Homo-oligomer: A and B are copies of this chain.
Amino acid sequence: MSPPSPSVYIVEDEVLVGMELSERLHALGYRVLGRATGGDEAMGALQRLRPDLVIADIHLGTEPSGIALAEHLRRRDPAVPVVFLSARSDCATLDAARRVAPAGLLVQPWDERALHATLQVALARAAIERQREAAAADRLERELRRAAARHEASLYRMAAGMAQAFSNLLGVALAQIGLARHALDDPARLTRSLTEAEATIATAGRHLEFLRRYAGGGRPSLRRLDLGELCRRAAGDAHALLPAGARLAVVTDSFGPLVVGDPEMLAMAVGELLRNAGEALPEGGGEIELWAQEVTAGEVAALRWWPTDWRAGSGRFAAITVFDTGEGIADSDRPLVFEPFYSTRALGRGLGLAVVVAAARAAGGAVAVQSSPGSGTALRMVLPIDAGGDA
């Protein structure tokens, strides 16, 4: 064995034993950086010398013991292996040694070959452990960089989406005001153009209101409602949005679940879920299922919800779930689908599933996605069930 000779520090209260050990190690090709007869002396020296390995007698004549020394060393630098020497192998000694997880333990009588083998194994394990620590740190750094890049990309996408979508609306409003300017002598046309400009600006305002609610603000008009009924109605309205060949099954009980939410927002959210499912279907059609049902705490606990700080609490939950038999969503895209302006450019569509987040947040709920490429997608909105007596 001929790598660069490793450096060793010896802690042994019996001076002659320490000297002999030192000579043997030297003969085996180790560099002995020094020797101490007590733990205190060793602690000072080790800080300075930083050996590759420490050999310590467990039972030093004075405190601290070899065990205490090893504990201290491990707290300071877990990468430095400690090999214990012991004249005893009773349960108490082994137990104490085991608790500080030494790199090796040589019970007397040991010979030079056992010493060498133990040190080599200890050094090899220490090298492996350092590699693993470094690999873990690398992985953390790499993952955090990837997360930062995704974060940045989301901000840019949102800024670009807003700029594109609102510029279009503002351009239309400007053109309508321009038409009004050229109709000063025609009150009817003038008034019509002004009305159109107002309507365009109001549309932009409605989109902004959704952004506000997506962010958890705004003033939703909450009332108690039957989620199953809401889904049946929304599905009726949504049929026109679905591609030819799409089959839609709506699964609800005849009554409930009852939740407290903003009916308009929730209806829009179900519409967006269905439109999204329709767009995911392959050419020529496929299946969409819309479920409104009560779900168990276990089902709620099993998924990763957005907003990420949403906690289910102890109540009961209703879920609206839309399954489609489309392509599925790649792992990397899954967290993005609820972000504004993900995947589409038009304003209404750009806010797409962000509308679902807005509706869920307004009602104290959350959204989740389950999907893998090839196996279709399930988008799910969960809302607290209204257990209250009088509505």
Query: A124 vs B132: C-alpha distance in the bound complex, in angstroms?
Result: 17
Q: Which B-chain residue is minimally distant from A217 (CB atoms)?
A: B160
Contacts of A156 in B (CB 8 A): 214-216
Q: Measured between alpha carbons, how far is A162 from B339 in the docked complex, in Å?
A: 15
| Docked-complex contact B177 and A212, CB < 8 angstroms | no
Interface 0/1 of A102-143, CB less than 8 Å to B? 111111001001101110110111011100110010011001
Taking CB atoms, residues of chain B closer than 8 Å to A211 are: 159-160, 162-163
Per-position 1/0 for A195-209, Cβ under 8 A of B: 001100110110011
> Could you say which residues of chain B place their CB within 8 Å of the CB of A197?
177, 197
Cβ A160 vs Cβ B114 within 8 A: no
**Which residue on B lies nearest to A187, using beta carbons?**
B184
Q: Mark A311-354, 1 if CB is under 8 A from B, else 0.
A: 00000000000000000000000010001100000000000001
Interface majority SS (helix, strand, loop, mixed), chain A: helix
A270 is an interface residue with CB less than 8 A from chain B = no
Q: Does A24 reach chain B (CB closer than 8 Å)?
A: no
A154 CB contacts on chain B under 8 angstroms = 151, 154-155
- Partner of A208 from the list B91, B103, B149, B167 (CB cut-off 8 Å) is B167
The answer to whether A205 touches B149 (Cβ under 8 A) is no
| A242 CB–B CB distance under 8 Å | no
**Selected interface stretch from A14-22, A92-100, A244-252:** A92-100
Which B residues are in CB contact (< 8 Å) with A148? 147, 308, 335
Chain B residues, CB < 8 A from A97? 117, 120-121
B-facing mask of A175-192, CB < 8 A → 1, else 0? 001101100100100110
Neighbour of A162 across the interface among B129, B143, B208, CB < 8 A: B208
- Determine how close the nearest CB of chain B comes to the CB of A2; give it in whole angstroms: 7
Question: Are the CB atoms of B217 and A163 closer together than 8 Å?
Answer: yes
Q: Is A263 an interface residue (CB 8 A)?
A: no
Q: Which residue of B lies closest to A164 (CB)?
A: B212
In the complex, A160→B335 CA distance in Å?
A: 20
Q: Shortest Cβ distance from A238 into chain B, in angstroms?
A: 25
A295 close to chain B: CB less than 8 A: no
Interchain CB contact under 8 A, B191 and A159:
no
Say if the beta carbon of A30 comes within 8 Å of chain B. no
Type the 1/0 row for A284-295, where 1 means its CB is closer than 8 Å to any CB of B.
Answer: 000000000000
Choice from B95, B99, B143, B214 contacting A144 with Cβ under 8 Å: B143
Residue of B144, B167, B208 near A147 (CB, 8 A) is B144
Other A-B contacts than A1-B91, A86-B117, A160-B212, 7 sampled, CB-CB below 8 A, are A101-B121, A107-B113, A125-B125, A154-B155, A162-B162, A162-B211, A170-B201
**Sampled A-B contacts (16; CB under 8 Å):** A99-B124, A101-B128, A104-B118, A129-B132, A143-B144, A144-B144, A155-B155, A155-B158, A158-B158, A159-B214, A159-B215, A167-B209, A170-B204, A173-B173, A174-B198, A197-B197
Q: Which 7 A-B pairs have the closest CB atoms?
A: A160-B215, A163-B212, A136-B136, A147-B147, A89-B113, A156-B215, A159-B215
